Chain A
Amino acid sequence: MTATPTARPSRPSIVRAALMVAEREILAQVRTKSFLISTGIMLAIVLGSIIAGAVFAGNDSTTKVAVVPGTADAVVGAESIEAVDAPDDAAAAQLVRDGEVSAALVPDDGVLGFRILALDAEPAELVAALSVSPEVELLEPADTDEGLRYLVSFGFGIVFLMSAAGFGATIANNTVQEKQSRVVELLLAAVPSRALLAGKILGNSVLAFGQTAAIAATAVIGLVVTGQDDLLGILGAPLVWFVLFFLVGFVLLASIYAASASLVSRMEDVNSTLSPVMMLVMTPYFLVVFFNDNEAVLRVMSYVPFSAPVGMPVRLFLGTAAWWEPLISLVILAVTTVGVIALGAKVYERSLLRTGPRVRLKEVLRAQ
């Protein structure tokens, strides 16, 4: 009785629907200028800080010192000293005056047999290189040096914070935008809300993961190019764990963001609803920056699902976690994530079509 066209489309499976939603989510995001610019800035900061690190660490900065035939032997074997040969004392002194070298080493009758000529300041590096210091033995040596520990903790903390907060906000905004523009009603008429939620989380996870992978790749390449690849040896395993924790941890936060955002109908209300979530995202960052030398705090952090993606990799880097600890923590995180997704999906489904003032969480969970 119906003039049916050749083939009726059949209902897309929930997975296909979620993939289509994810695809739209990714394309919509990648096409915005702000996304491209912010990614570029992030990569530039990472690369910049690695280069800065290389400069400050002084890996390839050497002090040029003029030597005459009688003093050349004195600097042999000193790594940070580059010897510049001069024919005699006068020529060496001239090199110092010309600024060609920072100091000159000339013969002297004193105990050492040489003295240093410098222009207006004592060349500390050269003095240190020529000084004899006693052997030091630390009874309780630190596993890693202070600065590096701070830097790595900060690195894990900031990358997780930026990704989670950035893409979390994207998820929240897109959710509210769909509600505010009412397109959500059309979407729900075609696909179940679970597919919508899954697609949203999937799409943004791919973006967040892609961006983080780009940052990690930039960091690795930067370290290798600037000759700091020894750092990679210590960072390798924690980095892999970080990626694993990041994947699960991001999904956890993403579902919280989506569910929270589904409670409001207008963009103006997003921020107030999201502030508890923002706290949840910021706390691990501050904890790890301020307490990275406090093993007790780190230990707790590494098991609490919301901070585990930062806490556990830092502990692994510091070498204070046993091999089984990340596994247990990851399981705790995964179980929490599954639970939160189930709850989040319920909230999302029940509040998507409710417009007007902010829907209260209690009301949503109790309803129906």
Chain B
Amino acid sequence: MLQIEGLDRSFGDRKVLDDVGFTVQRGRLTGFVGGNGAGKTTTMRIILGVLAADAGRVTLDGHPLTAEDRVDFGYMPEERGLYPKMKVAEQVAYLGRLHGVDRGVATTRAHELLERLGLDARADEPLENLSLGNQQRAQIAAALVHDPQVLILDEPFSGLDPLAVDVVVGVLAEYAAKGVPVLFSSHQLELVERLCDDLVIISGGRIRAAGGREELRESFSSTRYELVSTGDAGWLRDVVGVHVLDFDGGYAVFEADEDVAQSVLRTALDRSSVRSFTPVRPTLGEIFREVVTDAQPAPVLAEVSR
């Protein structure tokens, strides 16, 4: 388990991380979402030891990270970078060797990964000859060549076509299944929602929400319900304690507390047949917007930073 505790970091007078803390569980994909400049990249750089924190610490299974641990980390920086003039397979293998893998093993692994990522035909070409999407695949190979025990990926899906996204998703799931903590950031919220088990939301350098995907949706779901019935749902407007948000024939979305909602359901059943009655859970996008645009994050923070 990778644990991040109380990270602070300033650049000059600008505080970019303020008491950032969350955990990345083994065997789970953890999504890291936040707006531009929220502090994702800085946090990841600090985890990788590429940048020093002003305060706070990062531990792996309870002990503070050492350089020896970090050699087993797979890292994909936000700013992609490989040598433009170096052959693809060669530089993937070179990066593997810098991580302590033997030359022979690194070369074999590099070719295996490139094949899996559909780049085997371009393995001996200089990187600059590849399209951006293919360079991105090479970057993924570079992050995985030393068979990492922790994966930290900054925007691994940006610039990939849907097929490549599927391949990468498959690889990440495979690593998570092996018990590797996987932390990745992404702007593609639908993808994150579909993919990850845990979520961390950062905004303005502070963690606004963190936890399991379903728990988060649960905790952010307001007292909002959706009713689909065969009859006209217009009567809802007259029920005390119900605030109708959306209405169209037999379809209605309303806010009400639990007891009122239950009585609404009973009434609806008496009036006509009910197709569905569900509490509305917010999508990740909705949670994200709510959390991030929240100027006064204190109550949310108090809840999640338990």
Interfacial residues, chain A to chain B (CB-CB below 8 A): 1-5, 8-12, 17, 20-21, 24, 28, 177-178, 181-192, 353, 355, 368
List A contacts of B52 (CB < 8 A).
Answer: 368
What distance in Å separates the Cβ of B84 from its nearest Cβ neighbour in chain A? 6
Binds A, one of B71-79, B222-230, B251-259, B280-288: B71-79
Contact, CB under 8 Å: A189 / B48? yes
Instruction: Say whether B70 faces chain A, with CB atoms less than 8 Å apart.
Output: yes
List A contacts of B82 (CB < 8 A).
Answer: 181, 183, 186
Q: A28-B85, A186-B82 are in contact. Are A3 and B178 (CB under 8 A)?
A: yes
Contact, CB under 8 Å: A188 / B50? yes
Q: A1-B179, A3-B179 are in contact. Are A186 and B95 (CB under 8 A)?
A: yes
Interfacial residues, chain B to chain A (CB-CB below 8 A): 26, 45, 48-52, 67-68, 70-73, 75, 77, 79-86, 94-95, 97-102, 142, 146-147, 149, 178-180
Report the separation of the CA atoms of residues A185 and B50 in the bound assembly, to the nearest whole angstrom.
7
Q: A3-B179, A5-B147 are in contact. Are A190 and B84 (CB under 8 A)?
A: no
Which residue of chain B is the closest to A191 with respect to CB atoms? B98
Q: Tell which of B71, B79, B80 touches A10, judged by Cβ atoms closer than 8 Å.
A: B71
What distance in Å separates the Cβ of A182 from its nearest Cβ neighbour in chain B? 3
List B contacts of A353 (CB < 8 A).
Answer: 45, 50-51
List B contacts of A181 (CB < 8 A).
Answer: 81-84
Contact, CB under 8 Å: A182 / B81? yes
Q: A186-B75, A186-B81, A186-B82 are in contact. Are A20 and B50 (CB under 8 A)?
A: no
Report the separation of the CA atoms of residues A368 and B100 in the bound assembly, to the nearest whole angstrom.
30
Contact, CB under 8 Å: A9 / B81? no
Contact, CB under 8 Å: A9 / B71? yes
List A contacts of B178 (CB < 8 A).
Answer: 2-3
List B contacts of A192 (CB < 8 A).
Answer: 67
Q: Mind listing 12 A-B residue pairs with CB under 8 Å?
A: A1-B179, A2-B149, A11-B71, A17-B98, A178-B81, A183-B82, A184-B81, A185-B77, A186-B82, A188-B50, A190-B95, A191-B98
List A contacts of B45 (CB < 8 A).
Answer: 185, 353
Contact, CB under 8 Å: A190 / B26? no
A-B contact count (CB 8 A): 90
Contact, CB under 8 Å: A182 / B80? yes
Which residue of chain A is the closest to B102 with respect to CB atoms? A9
What distance in Å separates the Cβ of B261 from its nearest Cβ neighbour in chain A? 43
Q: Tell which of B26, B50, B72, B179 touches A8, judged by Cβ atoms closer than 8 Å.
A: B72
Which residue of chain B is the closest to A174 with respect to CB atoms? B83
Q: A2-B179, A17-B98 are in contact. Are A186 and B85 (CB under 8 A)?
A: no
Which residue of chain B is the closest to A32 with respect to CB atoms? B85
List A contacts of B147 (CB < 8 A).
Answer: 5
What distance in Å separates the Cβ of B73 from its nearest Cβ neighbour in chain A? 7
List A contacts of B101 (CB < 8 A).
Answer: 9
List B contacts of A177 (CB < 8 A).
Answer: 83-84
What distance in Å separates the Cβ of B231 from its nearest Cβ neighbour in chain A? 55
Report the separation of the CA atoms of residues A58 and B49 in the bound assembly, to the nearest whole angstrom.
67
Which residue of chain A is the closest to B61 with respect to CB atoms? A1
Report the separation of the CA atoms of residues A20 and B52 in the bound assembly, to the nearest whole angstrom.
25
Q: Tell which of A8, A20, A178, A355 touches B98, judged by Cβ atoms closer than 8 Å.
A: A20
What distance in Å separates the Cβ of B128 from its nearest Cβ neighbour in chain A? 9
Contact, CB under 8 Å: A24 / B94? yes
Most buried by A among B81, B86, B94: B81
Q: A2-B26, A2-B149, A24-B94 are in contact. Are A186 and B142 (CB under 8 A)?
A: yes
Which residue of chain A is the closest to B81 with respect to CB atoms? A182
Contact, CB under 8 Å: A183 / B81? yes
List B contacts of A2 (CB < 8 A).
Answer: 26, 149, 178-180
Report the separation of the CA atoms of residues A190 and B179 in the bound assembly, to the nearest whole angstrom.
22
Beyond the given A12-B100, A21-B98, A186-B142, please list 18 additional residue pairs across the A-B interface where CB-CB is below 8 A: A2-B178, A2-B179, A9-B71, A9-B100, A9-B101, A9-B146, A12-B98, A12-B99, A28-B85, A181-B83, A184-B81, A185-B45, A186-B95, A188-B50, A189-B75, A190-B98, A353-B50, A368-B52
Contact, CB under 8 Å: A189 / B100? no
Contact, CB under 8 Å: B100 / A11? yes
Report the separation of the CA atoms of residues A10 and B101 in the bound assembly, to the nearest whole angstrom.
8
What distance in Å separates the Cβ of B137 from its nearest Cβ neighbour in chain A? 15
Report the separation of the CA atoms of residues A20 and B90 in the bound assembly, to the nearest whole angstrom.
13
Report the separation of the CA atoms of residues A177 and B81 in the bound assembly, to the nearest whole angstrom.
10
Report the separation of the CA atoms of residues A183 and B92 in the bound assembly, to the nearest whole angstrom.
11
Report the separation of the CA atoms of residues A114 and B99 in the bound assembly, to the nearest whole angstrom.
88
Top 7 nearest A-B pairs (CB, nearest first) are A182-B81, A9-B100, A183-B81, A182-B79, A190-B98, A11-B71, A185-B77
Which residue of chain A is the closest to B82 with respect to CB atoms? A183
Contact, CB under 8 Å: A28 / B86? yes
Report the separation of the CA atoms of residues A187 and B95 in the bound assembly, to the nearest whole angstrom.
7
Report the separation of the CA atoms of residues A355 and B77 in the bound assembly, to the nearest whole angstrom.
14
List B contacts of A5 (CB < 8 A).
Answer: 147
Contact, CB under 8 Å: A10 / B68? yes
Which residue of chain B is the closest to A193 with respect to CB atoms? B50
